[in-house]
Amino acid sequence: MPAMSRGVRGTLLTLAGGALWGLSGTASKYLMATYGMDPLWLSCVRQLGACALFLLASVATAREQLVGVLRSPRDLLAAVVVALTAVLLMQVSYLEAIAWTNSATATVLQSLGTIVVLGYSCVRARRRPRMRERVGVVLALAGTFVLATGGDVRQLAMPPEGLAWGLACAVCNALLSIVPARLMARWGNFVVNGLTMGVAGACLSAWVRPWACAPALDGAGVALLVAVVVLGTFGAYALYLQGVRDVGSMKAILLGTSEPLVATIASIAWLGTAFAPTDLLGFALVIAMVYVAA
């Protein structure tokens, strides 16, 4: 495949993956607000549903890799560590941040994980941040300050729980970019995502017991839940990760800013969410941070 054609494909896939993530966040907010769906219940169902789809895709496209990782106790243990330190906490913190704030704010706070990845890269390479990276940190801090306070240092402009979950989501997002890298390089994205989401979903099931506390859903609610699992979780991961392979991680980070942009537009158009000018300024500063620091 010619380089230009692969680059165009990767760009489109990455944008589509980010857009599906953004729409999924807004749809999750709607499910929680309209049907009283608990964030932990939704996270559990998302992980188990996406696990089944990833493992089916693995059987169809990467059977040898799936069998290979199942025969490697060391890598199975590593997958469990990834599931508990990155995947489980990432899903839970993201949905909790949405529940306490909105999908746009949660996805923007999640983008702060870029700064964590930057810090890790500097420590690993034993170097100081470059000038543009320092500017990115300043933009990130300024954007977070504006979002959290609305420009008024005397009070928070969002629930403290929302800010805490959003920052936790940023850390988990960074871990998700760092921790499973070796496993994915060896066994592939479908296999690793299937195993880690399965472990995370099983652990969360023991706590949540989703079969005992399922919310009452009508036909529209069921359809939206299926869309969140199939399109917003499995589809988003599959498209985005293929895009990363085509265009590289740095360009993918930039293109991934389609997620907060789509989440913001969807929150306004679908849910009627009202954002203050300071909210939009905070969004712009954090998104600018990604472009400067990446």
Reported as a pLDDT band with limits 50, 70 and 90, residue 1 is: very low
Q: Residue 248: is its pLDDT beyond 90? A: no
Q: Which of 107, 115, 112, 147 lies closest to 132 in space, CA to CA?
A: 115
Mean pLDDT score of the chain: 88
Q: What is this structure's pTM?
A: 0.86
The whole domain housing 136 covers 3-293
pLDDT by residue (tens digit) across 176-203? 778 887 888 899 889 999 999 999 999 9
Greatest mean pLDDT among 16-20, 96-100, 107-111, 233-237 lies in: 96-100
Residue 180, pLDDT score: 83
pLDDT by residue (tens digit) across 53-101? 999 999 999 999 999 999 999 999 999 998 988 889 988 999 999 999 9
Residue 294, pLDDT score: 64
Residue 250, pLDDT score: 64
Rounded to an integer, what distance in angstroms lies between the CA atom of residue 11 and that of residue 232?
18
Percent of the chain with pLDDT over 70: 97
CB 232 within 8 A of CB 24: yes
Number of domains in the chain: 1
